[in-house]
C-alpha cells in the first residue's frame, strides 16, 4: 500500500506574493503526484492547510484539492481554524470537537490526530484526545500509522523544536508506548524532512509544500537577532510511505524540474539483467 503525504500548504486567498508562491508550489506538487508511475492509494495532508484560517482560504483549498489524484484526507495544524474549516469541509471526521478519525486501509489503520490549540504555535494533546486515541489503539485489528501535524520530537532547530517534557508530548508518548500496534508516526510542521526513533516507534517528519525552514542548529538567543536564515526556497516536497505488511519505507520526493540522465532503453537490458541476477537462457 502506498500513502502520499503532503503538508504545510499554507494556501491563502490573500493577494500577496507569499500566497501566489504557495499556490504555485502546491500546483507543482500536484503535478508530481499526478505523474507518479504508480499512483498512491491515498493522500494525507497533515496540517497548516491554509496560512491564516479564513473562510476564503478554505474555499481556495477546497478548489485546489480537486486536482490531487485519488482520495485525500485532511488534518489540522497551528495555522488552521476549526470553525471556518468545518463550514467548507463539513463535520465529517470530527470527534468530541477535534478532527480525529480513523482510515481503515488494507492491512493498516491510519489514525489522524488533532494537535491544534488555536492561538498556539506548538502542539497540544489533552485527556479527551488521548482517550479517543487509546480507545482506537485498543480496538485496532491491524497495525496502526499515526498522522498528526506537530512532531513530538526534538529537531535541533532551536526555534522549531519540541520539548520532551511538555505535558502534551508525555501524554501522547504514554498512549503510543502502551500499544504495540503503532508502526510509525508521520507529521509536518517543521518544514523539513527528518526521522527520529521515539516512543518505541519511528517519527517521520515531511518537508513542506510551502517554503522550507532553514537548517541551522546553532544556539539562538531570542533577544539577539543574528541574521541567520530562517526560511529558504528549497524545493517543495512529498513523502511517500510504502507499507508492505511488515514495515514502512519512506521516500522523500523533491518536486521540481530535473534532467533525466539515463533511461531503460534496449541497450540497458543486459545491465538490468545483471542487476536482477536473472539467469540467461541457453536457447
Q: Which residues of this protein are in contact with Fe ion, per CB under 5 A?
A: 8, 48
CB of 48 to Fe ion, least distance (A): 3
Of residues 8 and 23, the one with the C-beta less far from Fe ion: 8
Of residues 47 and 184, the one with the C-beta less far from Fe ion: 47
Question: What are the distances in angstroms from CA 152 to CA 30, 64, 126, 129, 162?
Answer: 28, 29, 14, 15, 6
Q: What is the C-alpha to C-alpha distance for residues 41 and 123, in angstroms, rounded to an integer? A: 28
How many whole angstroms from its chain centre is CA 120?
Answer: 19
Of residues 14 and 39, the one with the C-beta less far from Fe ion: 14
CB of 189 to Fe ion, least distance (A): 6
Q: In the numeric block, which cell numbers belong to residue 84?
A: 471556518
Of residues 23 and 179, the one with the C-beta less far from Fe ion: 23
CB of 139 to Fe ion, least distance (A): 31
Of residues 48 and 114, the one with the C-beta less far from Fe ion: 48
How many whole angstroms from its chain centre is CA 22?
Answer: 16
- In terms of Cβ atoms closer than 10 Å to its own Cβ (0-12, 13-18, 19+), residue 270 is exposed
Of residues 51 and 175, the one with the C-beta less far from Fe ion: 51
CB of 210 to Fe ion, least distance (A): 7
| Contacts with 224 (C-beta within 8 Å, 6 or more apart), sequence order | none
DSSP state of 68: S
CB of 117 to Fe ion, least distance (A): 15
CB of 4 to Fe ion, least distance (A): 18
Amino acid at each position: 500500500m502506498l500513502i502520499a503525504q503532503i503538508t504545510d500548504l499554507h494556501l491563502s486567498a490573500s493577494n500577496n506574493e507569499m500566497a501566489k508562491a504557495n499556490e504555485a508550489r502546491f500546483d507543482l506538487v500536484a503535478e508530481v503526484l499526478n505523474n507518479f508511475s504508480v499512483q498512491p492509494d491515498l493522500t494525507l495532508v497533515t496540517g497548516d492547510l491554509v496560512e491564516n484560517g479564513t473562510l476564503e482560504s478554505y474555499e481556495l483549498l477546497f478548489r485546489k484539492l480537486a486536482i490531487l489524484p485519488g482520495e485525500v484526507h485532511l488534518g489540522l495544524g497551528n495555522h488552521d481554524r476549526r470553525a471556518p474549516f468545518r463550514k467548507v469541509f463539513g463535520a465529517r471526521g470530527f470527534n468530541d470537537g477535534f478532527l480525529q478519525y480513523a482510515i481503515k486501509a488494507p492491512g493498516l489503520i491510519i489514525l489522524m490526530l488533532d494537535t491544534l490549540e488555536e492561538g498556539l504555535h506548538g502542539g497540544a494533546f489533552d485527556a479527551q484526545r488521548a482517550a479517543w486515541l487509546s480507545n482506537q489503539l485498543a480496538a485496532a485489528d491491524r497495525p496502526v500509522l499515526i498522522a498528526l501535524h506537530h512532531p513530538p520530537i526534538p529537531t535541533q532547530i532551536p526555534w522549531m523544536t519540541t520539548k520532551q517534557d511538555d505535558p502534551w508530548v508525555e501524554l501522547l508518548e504514554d498512549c503510543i508506548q502502551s500499544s504495540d500496534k503503532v508502526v510509525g508516526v508521520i507529521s509536518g510542521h517543521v518544514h523539513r524532512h527528518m526521522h527520529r526513533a521515539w516512543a518505541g516507534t519511528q517519527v517521520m517528519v515531511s518537508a513542506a509544500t510551502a517554503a522550507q525552514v532553514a537548517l541551522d542548529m546553532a544556539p539562538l538567543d531570542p533577544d539577539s537577532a543574528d541574521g541567520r536564515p530562517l526560511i529558504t526556497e528549497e524545493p517543495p516536497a512529498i513523502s511517500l510511505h510504502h507499507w508492505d505488511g511488515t514495515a514502512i519505507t519512506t521516500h522523500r520526493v523533491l518536486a521540481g524540474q530535473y534532467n533525466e540522465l539515463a533511461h531503460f532503453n534496449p541497450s540497458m537490458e543486459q545491465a538490468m539483467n545483471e542487476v536482477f541476477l536473472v539467469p540467461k537462457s541457453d536457447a
